[in-house]
Structure 1
Amino acid sequence: MTINIPRGTQDILPGTVEKWQYIENVAREICNQYQYKEIRTPIFEHTELFERGVGDTTDIVQKEMYTFQDRGERSLTLRPEGTAGTVRSFVQHKMFGQANQPVKLFYNGPMFRYERPQAGRFRQFVQFGVEAIGSDDPVIDAEVISLAMELYKRVGLNELKLVLNSLGDTDSRVAHKEALIAHFKPRINEFCSDCQIRLEKNPLRILDCKKDRDHELMASAPSLADYLNEESKAYFEKVQHYLSLMGIEFELDPNLVRGLDYYNHTAFEIMSSAKGFGAITTLCGGGRYNGLIEDLGGPSAPGIGFALSIERLLSALDAEKIELPVSGTLDCYFISMGDKAKDKTVELAFKARQQGLSAEMDTLRRKMKAQMKSADRLKAKHVAILGENELEAGTITVKHLESGSQEIINIDGLIDYLKQS
């Protein structure tokens, strides 16, 4: 019986995985330039972490988590996102006591959500994200946003749109929450069961409902912008000011609501405006989460971050027909004729690899013509051909596949020759 992979997952095969490696390397390079350090947290955590950290009114916690009991009857959950685990680690390891503040971290790894698979959306997906914890200066908001934009730009994307909103501070959100409850409560029975539950707990999430998005009360709902106090307005204006200094274009969207409960002040999304990308245009989302660290048992410490899907980034590259520079050229393919020549090519291939060259040789006992075809398929720069006569003479024939030229050189000088050509 053939066993296939579970629905909503994917195998990333050679020929494609090189694109992932390229993007991950670019992300690491940018994080080094911005001084964000990598953190690696467990793939599964205690379920309570996500219930408290993500929010029990979110779709993630209510519908999408992979939760199970271990043999000790503890409830564990495969991580659905990266922020909660990163903040848990920040608190547990007392990073708030480190000399260098704010603490700037990045992560890259698989996340798990039980949702309907579709183009660019999987049940196991890879998420890259950053978190900056310890600063309430709006300049760090702009820095985090600029890092995300820089990653997309550096891999070649052009059709991008950055959208901003302010969710305000605690006082602003409380005032807006009361207005939302008063607005929706008289007709809440016309909304889905999820919205009815959210009304008292987090009515802001009603505005993010996909089922009831066309209800007439949505269009007339109180705008959060009308409830921002002066401090929140000033903060948001500073964020916009710093982005403008960086030359980063953006649009304001008072209806932008992030899907997680822990956000406040700055919220943002980066979208693809490329034709043919699909109905779901969001590539990246993030925002500020002052208060989350305290909710998870830490001290009062502000934070901001974002997360993006590598799968959706690749889809955006396809939509813009952008090819990444991942040719995977082979430096030398070794061909031998005769047992003694084969022994020598084994030795030469090993030495080439030790010297940082990529090398390959035939292990299927194919004839020379088939080996040459193999070298061509692997896009080898050189083919080194060694027979018994060349071995006795201390020489080896090197053929340049691109030009078709070839020359005979001293076998002892082969490695240096390959490194210089």
Structure 2
Amino acid sequence: MTEKIASIHDSTKIANPQAILADLQASQQLPVYWVTDFDSLEQCLDDLETRERIALDTEFIKRDTYYPKLALVQINTGEAIYLIDAPKLDLSEFWVVLEEMPLMIWHACGEDLGIFYLLSECEALTNVFDTQIALSYLTSQLQMGYQQALKDELAIEVTKGESQSDWLARPLTDEQEQYAIDDVRYLLCLYDALQAQLVAKDLVDKVTEDCQLYAKELYDAANVEDDATYLAMVDFRYTGEQLAVLQAVSAWREALARATNQPKTFILKKQAVRDVVTELPSTMKHLTYKTSMHRSMLRLYGPELLTVINEARALKEADQPPKILAPYRSKDKTISKAVQKIVDDYEAETGVPANVLMRKKWLSQLYEVVAYDLPLEELPEGLKGWRYPWVTQTVIPLIATHKEALQAGMGVDDDDYSAAGG
């Protein structure tokens, strides 16, 4: 194992693979404690309050409810592993302790933090480090799984066969318990190995910033207002009337799902929402035969949904949501090739992979800023941090040299300038 670790990290000058091996061996011997009552939770919290960093994971079920059912929280302190039996406990104090923890290490924390925000009602976390984000900087793979990360970075093999099992069942099977333990057993070692590589490449600050950006994005997603949920399904081709219907139906679906504690897709799948927006049904017959809304939902909520649709359609134009700007579309690849070149150049200069440096969504928003002469405050948050000097001094000036072609590819006209505030 030592030889493989050394060969993996030769290029990053990790000086002591023996230390990593020692940590791995120590991880394999960590004691495991179940936290199932108030006293054991208090002991766990007392321990956590002395720690500078911990590794975490969660197991939950969200198949037939709006609110996820948290089944288990796994924590590795470096000296012990805790398995917290979430359904049995009041975790109010636990969430506060985690919020105040100097450093929480996760792998692919999207769903975990979504639950964290939902159950804790805390502000956006600033103590999150996601090893998946670190790996994207080091490998250019944006969504490397934990199993592959351990194999590639630490020569550790773990199984992932229990991910879809019933985590609310008690007692857990031996296989489930081992799976849960393995999800955090080596996570601190993985963090240390990745951190050494990031230090060698001078990428620590950039990765840390992107981890906090991700935590903030997850917070925003967990706290989006019902009236803004429509933006996840919006289409620039929708008319003002269709946008009003989409906004109203999306908000109605979200509120109903929350009130009845069922997944919003149980009420209306995304395709059914799109059907409603394109067909604009005004009768039960139209709703039944022109949309893919499930018959059971039609019986329960059809008349109520029709009321929502008709009220939205009756809105005056001034009260409709603002129209969506058209994306840049052109068979001429001059702009995209020019942008790709400066992205590649910056990758060569900084070591940040191109797909990490510039997301497609960010680039689309950059095009809007240039084409519609929007203020720099309209830049996406991801381009306001360490990327900002490069974006404002290099990328935007380059795109501006192609402004006429950009506007043509976006169908910009005087009305669009007015709508955008230009």
Give the TM-score of the pair, scaled to structure 2.
Answer: 0.24
Pair member with larger Rg: 1
Where is the helix percentage greater, Structure 1 or Structure 2?
2
Higher strand proportion (structure 1 or 2): 1
Superposition TM-score, scaled by structure 1 size: 0.24
